Structure 1
């Protein structure tokens, strides 16, 4: 009982290890130093760094060219991995990272909680239906992430690049041609084929620091490109039932087994909720909770999201199947994509040219009418004196 309680406590206290590529601002200057952060944990906090030998692919696509990221461009600080690079000509850029698969063993309670709280509810339903809720699991998983950002003002077609990852989000139009209040459609591919009826979680966060547009300035770059620490990030070390501790700081081991390892796969808010009434309608939002809006792709593997607010938007999904590979029970592929949305600067109006306010002075028509009356009065006055 004590072991079960400790396991559930870890599931609720710790967080899933989603992976995201993030920028402080997704609007950068051309020909400038820049930094992309690789988070492994939640969208808000990275819990450990990623070794370069785990990366099958790390590349940037810009102006029709795909460039491999060199190992020397990566640095680490605390629990976050940083990609340091220099932007080139203006355009819409894409960066991506794909990792090698790893195996993880989980006891039934841990695996079931992971499935429930990370949105892998189809597999959870299958386990219920087949009487497998008391079965252990050995899962092979890998992560495939990308980010889309804008350099300068010129929009280019690189946003639709297919990086060839096992699972991948691709927008159907340039995200930076869209603004707050617009809709944006993504296609989800699995092995380059549309993935239908897949659960996707959509969410957004306010851009760090925020910004104003009082002067219609739409450049938001951080020219210094400096790395920084996140003081509230969760420590990588944790304790096992036997009282021992260890760290996954570099995620070097390819195979490992821990009863508590399901903590790597729980929602960041740790809340419990039921998906029994999960709708399977095409590309419709099922419900909203603290971890975002859950949606399903349609028969074409597409889903359309409403960009309701300014901020950094992200989509994430975990596609899991039962595995026939020796020594495994399941295989999963994780995917995320990030981009930023702002309001349409063309909608902003000028207080100098477009219209007059009472506090700026009397409307011009009053001056014109008054002038006519004054001139007419003076003409009448002097005519009488003659």
Structure 2
């Protein structure tokens, strides 16, 4: 099940238990895969993880975890402020039918890839893709958020530019999207709130790779995007990176969700 319909679902995110906690507390990370919340929990599959790291006020360390475990990793918090966690996966290949691949490109706003398929009369050919994932999560410790904007050197990465503990509902939550450390423009970004029903807003990055999103409610938000380029590797037509960020956002002028 995880390798068929969900393999083509671009959202792949980390859910920390708990996203808001204290010093010297264990935080367990769950891995979710799917088109939207709640997705499906996935175990830590063999050879999935390339690297899994965390940065806090005391520096960088590896997030512990083992293949086959239901949780993808865990750590003990060490310092007040933000503990920023990032996971990079190994590449995986997948083939989709022409109709599935074209719909995927439409849904994710991958206009350049779709334009190339049309230009070279490839709309009726299958999509052979190699993808890897760049998942990031922010854990807030002792009611503080210093370091929430830490860059983790993922190939495709969201960097928060609004303090998640100081957000005002009349404002917009600002993020920047980086591709190999440089701003990535004209890219669709989705924001989804963990709620029932799921709430979603979207925006497209500007020339500086920035988006400003009108978030509707406090809670655990998932930000996601996909970047795709033609591939020069044998047996693959496209190379894609799927990025996500989860962070619990508080509203200063409203009560948090219960």
- The answer to whether structure 1 residue 331 and structure 2 residue 239 are counterparts is yes
- The answer to whether structure 1 residue 55 and structure 2 residue 49 are counterparts is yes
Correspondent of 2:30 among 25, 33, 37: 37
Residue 185 of structure 1 contacts residue 303 of structure 1 at CA under 8 Å; is this kept in 2?
yes
1:264-343 paired onto structure 2 within 5 Å: 292-343=200-251
Look up the SS of the partner of 1:126 in the other structure.
helix
Q: Structure 1 pair 132/15, CA: closer, same or farther in 2 (3 Å)?
A: closer
Correspondent of 2:151 among 157, 162, 169: 162
Counterpart residue number, 2:21: 28
Counterpart residue number, 1:264: none
Residue 307 of structure 1 contacts residue 341 of structure 1 at CA under 8 Å; is this kept in 2?
no
Q: Which moved more, 1:145-154 or 1:34-43?
A: 34-43
Residue 169 of structure 1 contacts residue 337 of structure 1 at CA under 8 Å; is this kept in 2?
yes
Structure 2: any 5+ residue segments left out of the alignment?
none
Higher-RCO chain (CA-CA 8 Å, sequence separation at least 6):
1
Correspondent of 1:200 among 181, 186, 189: 189
Counterpart residue number, 1:249: none
Q: Structure 1 pair 310/173, CA: closer, same or farther in 2 (3 Å)?
A: closer
Write the distance in 2 (CA, Å) between the matches of 1:322 and 1:89.
Answer: 43
Decide which structure has the larger Cα Rg and report it: 1
Write the distance in 2 (CA, Å) between the matches of 1:14 and 1:330.
Answer: 15
Residue 39 of structure 1 contacts residue 46 of structure 1 at CA under 8 Å; is this kept in 2?
yes
Structure 1: any 5+ residue segments left out of the alignment?
1-9, 209-268, 270-289, 349-386
Write the distance in 2 (CA, Å) between the matches of 1:116 and 1:70.
Answer: 37
Counterpart residue number, 1:278: none
Q: Which deviations, in whole Å up to 9, do the C-alpha atoms of 1:31-81 show, x marking residues without a partner?
A: 222222121234312253232532111011111411112335x7734xxx3
Correspondent of 1:184 among 170, 173, 176: 173
Counterpart residue number, 1:65: 59
Correspondent of 1:149 among 136, 139, 162: 139
Q: Structure 1 pair 150/179, CA: closer, same or farther in 2 (3 Å)?
A: farther
- Which is richer in strand? 2
Counterpart residue number, 1:133: 123
Correspondent of 2:74 among 77, 84, 89: 84
Residue 190 of structure 2 contacts residue 225 of structure 2 at CA under 8 Å; is this kept in 1?
yes
Q: TM-score, normalised by structure 1?
A: 0.59
Write the distance in 2 (CA, Å) between the matches of 1:180 and 1:148.
Answer: 20
Q: Structure 1 pair 189/29, CA: closer, same or farther in 2 (3 Å)?
A: same
Q: Structure 1 pair 22/180, CA: closer, same or farther in 2 (3 Å)?
A: farther
| 1:291 CA displacement | 7.3
Q: Structure 1 pair 294/122, CA: closer, same or farther in 2 (3 Å)?
A: farther
Write the distance in 1 (CA, Å) between the matches of 2:144 and 2:86.
Answer: 21
Look up the SS of the partner of 1:53 in the other structure.
coil
Look up the SS of the partner of 1:59 in the other structure.
strand
Write the distance in 1 (CA, Å) between the matches of 2:103 and 2:173.
Answer: 32
Q: How many residues align?
A: 251
Look up the SS of the partner of 2:145 in the other structure.
coil
Look up the SS of the partner of 1:202 in the other structure.
strand
Look up the SS of the partner of 1:56 in the other structure.
strand
Write the distance in 1 (CA, Å) between the matches of 2:143 and 2:41.
Answer: 34
Residue 43 of structure 2 contacts residue 68 of structure 2 at CA under 8 Å; is this kept in 1?
no
Residue 45 of structure 2 contacts residue 68 of structure 2 at CA under 8 Å; is this kept in 1?
no
